[in-house]
């Protein structure tokens, strides 16, 4: 049983079917094909807004391109200290932005407290010569801890960022998982709340390799076509990504997939709640569960061949500490996680 990540799954059948359907005849290259154009139109509909869309093959590329577009080389990006852009992309944002600085902020559950944004900005005098210039705020929705920002929280972050003109980027590698939990519209979770640029994640949602950088102000996206090309992210057979989004976005399939993953996580979280050997490190709000596991439970899971990741304690809520032998474990559900497996895992944990 492998709960290590939602990227260990393949692609959903709808995505596979869409790729197969697109594999017919010739198509114009480099993202000028009909499937890519179709994806662009779908995004405009989904977000109820004019958008500029750039399809790429990895979340790392989407995030790094997005941040490079809104930050000068001497600029700084405020982000959570454990965010993917700060800690899991081997310096990709620094590479794509020609050396901008990521400033990592602490915060329980990997959520950035708005007042910390304000206090941090106060340390960087506007226009000062010697310091880098804060120019962007990057938040992750859902976070790496499986938590989500409420609409009010996003709005509060925007309010903290706006006085200094920071652009707000949302890393939406698990955008759909957050969206179905909040039950709001994609527009409400993004531009209506103050998001300027979004990394829309298709891969973890059920595609093979399909991510989109989405600008809600197309006028600001003018240079991204060159950045993307120059980064080797402009596929010649661009319909491969366009078709994946076709399969994903049609008929709300992407939301169905996310609902399934979230439901599996909720089932596991409820087992943790009942267990005397585990407790939740953070509330389960998307498709991942982070129980604090007793030593005995760790042994039992190991013997049962359950795959999960040990996780960092840096963002535990105030007051939560680990007893000796305890660890935080990460269990991530995907569109393809089978209910039977989750039930078996739940049984192991509740036992």
Residues 65-84 that bind its own copies (CB under 8 A): 65, 72-74
User: Is residue 125 near its own copies by the rule CB under 8 A?
Assistant: no
Site for its own copies in 145-164 (CB under 8 A): none
Q: Judged by CB, which is closer to its own copies: 93, or 186? A: 93
Q: Judged by CB, which is closer to its own copies: 2, or 37? A: 2
Q: Judged by CB, which is closer to its own copies: 194, or 202? A: 202
What does DSSP assign to residue 194? T
User: Is residue 203 near its own copies by the rule CB under 8 A?
Assistant: yes
Q: Which residues pair with 167 in a beta bridge?
A: 136
Residue 37 CB burial class (10 angstroms; 0-12, 13-18, ≥19):
middle
Closest contact distance (angstroms) between CB of 187 and its own copies is 27
Q: How many residues bind its own copies (CB under 8 A)?
A: 74
Task: Kindly write down the DSSP assignment for every residue of 247-273, as one continuous string.
Answer: HHHGGGHHHHHHHHHHHHHHHHHHHHH
Binding its own copies (rule: CB under 8 A), the pick from 41, 45, 50, 91 is: 91
Q: Judged by CB, which is closer to its own copies: 76, or 289? A: 76
What does DSSP assign to residue 108? G
User: Is residue 236 near its own copies by the rule CB under 8 A?
Assistant: yes
Give the interface segment with its own copies, choosing from 57-65, 162-170, 251-259, 293-301 (CB under 8 A): 57-65
What is the three-class DSSP state of 135? strand
Site for its own copies in 255-294 (CB under 8 A): none
Q: Judged by CB, which is closer to its own copies: 88, or 152? A: 88
Q: Judged by CB, which is closer to its own copies: 287, or 294? A: 287
Binding its own copies (rule: CB under 8 A), the pick from 226, 252, 299, 322 is: 226
Closest contact distance (angstroms) between CB of 326 and its own copies is 18
Phi/psi for 208 (5° steps) reads -80, -55
What's the angle, vertex CA 268, arms to CA 334 and CA 279, rounded to 5?
Answer: 130
Q: Judged by CB, which is closer to its own copies: 131, or 299? A: 131
User: Is residue 24 near its own copies by the rule CB under 8 A?
Assistant: yes
Closest contact distance (angstroms) between CB of 307 and its own copies is 8
Give the interface segment with its own copies, choosing from 190-198, 225-233, 292-300, 315-323 (CB under 8 A): 225-233
User: Is residue 230 near its own copies by the rule CB under 8 A?
Assistant: yes
Residue 81 CB burial class (10 angstroms; 0-12, 13-18, ≥19):
middle
Closest contact distance (angstroms) between CB of 144 and its own copies is 12
User: Is residue 252 near its own copies by the rule CB under 8 A?
Assistant: no
User: Is residue 206 near its own copies by the rule CB under 8 A?
Assistant: no
Nearest residue to 146 via CA among 123, 169, 174: 174
Binding its own copies (rule: CB under 8 A), the pick from 44, 209, 263, 309 is: 209
Nearest residue to 298 via CA among 321, 315, 320, 322: 322
Nearest residue to 127 via CA among 156, 165, 94: 165
Nearest residue to 144 via CA among 193, 81, 211: 81
Q: Judged by CB, which is closer to its own copies: 236, or 321? A: 236
Q: Judged by CB, which is closer to its own copies: 128, or 323? A: 128
Q: Which residues of 285-296 are buried (b: 16+ CB within 10 A; e: fewer)?
A: bbbbbbbbbbee
In angstroms, how far is CA 4 from the centroid of its own chain? 16
Residue linked to tokens 């509909």: 45
Closest contact distance (angstroms) between CB of 296 and its own copies is 26
Phi/psi for 30 (5° steps) reads 60, 40
Cβ 205 vs Cβ 258: under 8 Å: yes
Binding its own copies (rule: CB under 8 A), the pick from 43, 78, 94, 260 is: 94
């Amino acid at each position: 049983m492998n709960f290590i990540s939602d990227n260990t799954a393949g692609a959903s059948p709808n995505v596979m079917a869409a790729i197969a359907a697109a594999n017919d005849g010739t198509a114009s290259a480099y993202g000028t094909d009909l499937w890519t154009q179709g994806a662009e139109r779908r995004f405009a509909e989904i977000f109820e807004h004019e958008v500029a869309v750039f399809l790429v093959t990895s979340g790392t590329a989407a995030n790094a391109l997005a941040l490079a577009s809104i930050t000068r080389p001497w600029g700084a990006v405020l982000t959570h200290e454990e965010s993917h852009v700060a800690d899991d992309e081997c310096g990709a944002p620094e590479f794509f932005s020609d050396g901008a600085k990521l400033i990592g902020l602490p915060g329980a559950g990997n959520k950035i407290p708005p007042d910390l944004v304000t206090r941090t900005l106060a340390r960087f005098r506007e226009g000062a010569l010697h310091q880098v210039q804060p120019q962007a705020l990057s938040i992750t929705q859902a976070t790496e801890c499986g938590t989500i920002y409420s609409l009010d929280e996003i709005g509060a972050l925007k309010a903290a960022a706006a006085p200094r003109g920071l652009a707000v980027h949302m890393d939406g590698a698990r955008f759909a998982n957050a969206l179905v939990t909040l039950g709001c519209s994609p527009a409400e979770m993004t531009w209506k709340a103050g998001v300027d640029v979004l990394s829309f994640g298709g891969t973890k949602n059920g595609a093979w390799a399909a991510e989109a950088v989405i600008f809600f102000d197309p006028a600001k996206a003018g240079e991204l076509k060159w950045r993307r090309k120059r980064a080797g992210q402009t596929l010649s057979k661009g319909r491969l990504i366009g078709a994946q989004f076709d399969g994903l976005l049609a008929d709300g399939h992407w939301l169905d997939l996310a609902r399934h993953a979230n439901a599996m996580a909720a089932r596991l979280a409820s087992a943790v709640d009942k267990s005397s050997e585990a407790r939740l490190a953070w509330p389960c709000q998307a498709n991942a569960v982070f129980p604090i596991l007793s030593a005995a439970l760790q042994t039992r899971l190991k013997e049962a061949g359950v795959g999960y990741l040990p996780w960092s304690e840096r963002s535990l809520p105030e007051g939560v500490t680990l007893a000796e032998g305890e660890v935080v474990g990460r269990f991530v559900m995907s569109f393809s996680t089978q209910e039977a497996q989750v039930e078996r895992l739940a049984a192991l944990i509740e036992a």
